[in-house]
């Protein structure tokens, strides 16, 4: 049974319908004189509009029939002159041929107006959808993009239909709104770029870019890690290229060397417009567009900070120890090598005293090697020092150069120069026998000495670079000798 407060009843007045109304509301309208027994009404389930007096469900409640009374006067009760009787309101010309619910909502002319309005709305929305798609030219799309987004933001339905910006599933709604902010700025004003990192895979994130720059604009994104914030790495520098498509671009996944995850930490991100791009707005030179700071591959929480301190303490201790060791090995080999060279040079330049001399004259001359024993001792000392370093160098592997030793590149240089030093040692041993052809020996010794000296010189130069290099704010060495 229907409640008198249920809104079920539509009323037809002049050329339009009103409602739905509850029975209580209809009773108030009757008291106010705004409806009569001849007012047409309809509710869901009725085949057509009917006068209230012909609708049993509400007729009795609104216009009850007077109770009959005895006597001849009863026939006069409620009888009015014909001119004073209420005239029935005109019935709607025709009942709609659509469903009853539409008959209630769109009788007569209002149905036509509503249909026309609906058709206009459909055409308008369709135009927006087509306009926001890839069918229209890029320059038109660029100009209309702010309008599309402004209209779409007014309605959740339109926002779902007008897809100006892809909806990556690794960004929050707030971040999507931030990306759209760059597209709301007309491309006739200054360049606007928004750049965000996705959260799908924090260790290998994608970068999302939106901009009001022209489509096909070629952008270069450069990321430089802050050495005092990077975990398990001291440096990170990467450049990636993206091309705007309808104001949007998504980068490839950011990865470290050999596909490793990028180090957790803070990065300075710079975006440059490449002059050679198809859509370059300022041909002739690359143009800096924006810079921002991103913290990538995790949260900057207490766990991260504790790991960072442990890593940095380890780097400081290891780098100091390695630098001291490398300096010691380089000095040892250089001193021994130069000592042997000097001894051989003296042995080759010694001249025998003249057989006859009227008068002995003391002349200043370099102190000669007293005997072959002194030359032998120097060569043997060089050989022992060389053997010592060669034995240690057996533990220096490609893996340790790369993953264990902080100054791995300098250790590699030192190891690479050992064969030349070994070759010189073998040549030096020939000097002990006082070679008959001293010219040929001197040439051979000189050639091998040049190779050995070059290798040691490279090591020493690298050591000087790292020793003089500035340190980071956290006291970390910023130079490890790598190219």
Residue 407 makes CB contacts below 8 A (sequence gap 6+) with: 319, 322, 323, 326, 466, 480, 481
Out of 1.10.10, 1.10.287, 1.20.120, 1.10.1740, select the CATH number for domain 305-349+368-468.
Answer: 1.20.120
Q: Which of 180-184, 340-344, 358-362 has the highest mean pLDDT?
A: 340-344
pLDDT score for 302? 96
Q: How confident is the model at residue 275 (pLDDT cuts 50, 70, 90)?
A: low
Transcribe 29-76 into DSSP letters: HHHHTS--TT-EEE-TT-SS-EEGGG-HHHHHHHSPPPPP-SSGGGGG
Architecture of the domain delimited by 197-300? Sandwich (2.60)
Encode 302-361 in three state secondary structure.
HHHHHHHHHHHHHHHHHHHHHHHHHHHHHHHHHHHHHHHHHHHHHHHHCCCCCCCCCCCC
Tens of pLDDT along 33-83? Answer: 888 888 888 888 888 888 888 888 888 888 887 765 544 443 333 333 433
- Which residue ranges make up each domain of the chain? 197-300, 305-349+368-468
Cβ density class 249-276: b for 16+ within 10 Å, e for less:
bebebbebeeeebbbbbbbebbbbbbee
- What gap in Å lies between CA 132 and CA 245, rounded to an integer? 12
What element of type H or E holds 419? helix 408-430
Which among 115, 116, 140 has a CA at the least distance from the CA of 127? 140
Residues 6+ apart with CB under 8 A from 57: 2
Task: Tell me the pairing of strands 193-197 and 50-51.
Answer: unpaired
Bridge partners of residue 10, in order along the sequence: 42
Query: What's the whole-number mean pLDDT along residues 176-182?
Result: 85
């Amino acid at each position: 049974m229907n409640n008198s407060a249920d809104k079920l009843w539509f009323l037809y007045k002049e050329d339009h319908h009103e409602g739905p109304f509850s029975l209580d509301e209809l009773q108030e309208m009757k008291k106010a004189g705004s409806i009569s027994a001849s007012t047409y009404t309809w509710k869901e389930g009725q085949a057509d509009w009917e006068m209230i007096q012909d609708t049993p469900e509400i007729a009795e409640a609104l216009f009850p029939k007077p109770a009959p009374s005895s006597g001849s006067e009863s026939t006069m009760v409620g009888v009015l002159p014909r001119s004073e009787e209420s005239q029935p309101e005109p019935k709607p010309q025709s009942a709609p041929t659509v469903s009853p619910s539409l008959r209630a909502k769109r009788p007569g002319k209002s149905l036509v107006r509503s249909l026309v309005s609906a058709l206009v709305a459909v055409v308008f929305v369709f135009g927006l959808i087509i306009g926001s798609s890839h069918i229209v030219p890029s320059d038109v799309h660029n100009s209309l993009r702010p309008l599309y987004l402004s209209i779409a933001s007014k309605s959740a339905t339109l926002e779902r239909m007008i897809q100006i910006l892809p909806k990556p599933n690794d960004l929050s709604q707030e971040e999507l709104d931030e990306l759209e902010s760059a597209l709301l700025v007309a491309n006739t004003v200054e360049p606007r770029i928004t750049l965000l990192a996705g959260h799908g895979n924090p260790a290998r994130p994608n970068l999302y870019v939106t901009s009001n720059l022209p489509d096909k604009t070629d952008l270069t994104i450069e990321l430089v890690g802050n050495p005092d914030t990077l975990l398990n790495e001291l440096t990170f520098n990467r450049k990636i290229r993206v091309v705007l498509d309808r104001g949007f671009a998504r980068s490839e996944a950011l990865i470290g060397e050999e596909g490793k995850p990028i180090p957790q930490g803070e990065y300075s991100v710079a975006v440059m417009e490449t002059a050679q791009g198809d859509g370059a707005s300022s041909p002739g030179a690359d143009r800096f567009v924006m810079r921002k700071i991103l913290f990538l591959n995790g949260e900057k929480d207490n766990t991260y900070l504790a790991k960072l301190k442990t890593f940095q303490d380890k780097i400081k201790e290891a780098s100091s120890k390695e630098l001291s060791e490398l300096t010691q090995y380089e000095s040892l080999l250089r001193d021994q090598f130069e000592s042997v060279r000097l001894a051989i040079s003296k042995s080759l330049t010694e001249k025998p005293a003249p057989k006859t001399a009227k008068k002995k004259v003391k002349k200043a001359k370099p102190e000669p090697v007293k005997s072959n024993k002194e030359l032998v001792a120097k060569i043997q000392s060089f050989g022992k020092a060389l053997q010592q370093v060669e034995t240690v160098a057996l533990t220096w592997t490609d893996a340790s150069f790369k993953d264990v030793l902080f100054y791995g590149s300098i250790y590699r240089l030192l190891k690479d120069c050992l064969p030349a030093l070994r070759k010189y040692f073998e040549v030096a041993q020939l000097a002990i026998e006082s070679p008959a052809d001293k010219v040929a020996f001197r040439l051979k010794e000189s050639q091998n000495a040049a190779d050995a000296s070059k290798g040691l010189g490279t090591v020493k130069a690298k050591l000087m670079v790292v020793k003089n290099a500035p340190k980071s704010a956290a006291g970390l060495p910023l130079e490890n000798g790598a190219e």
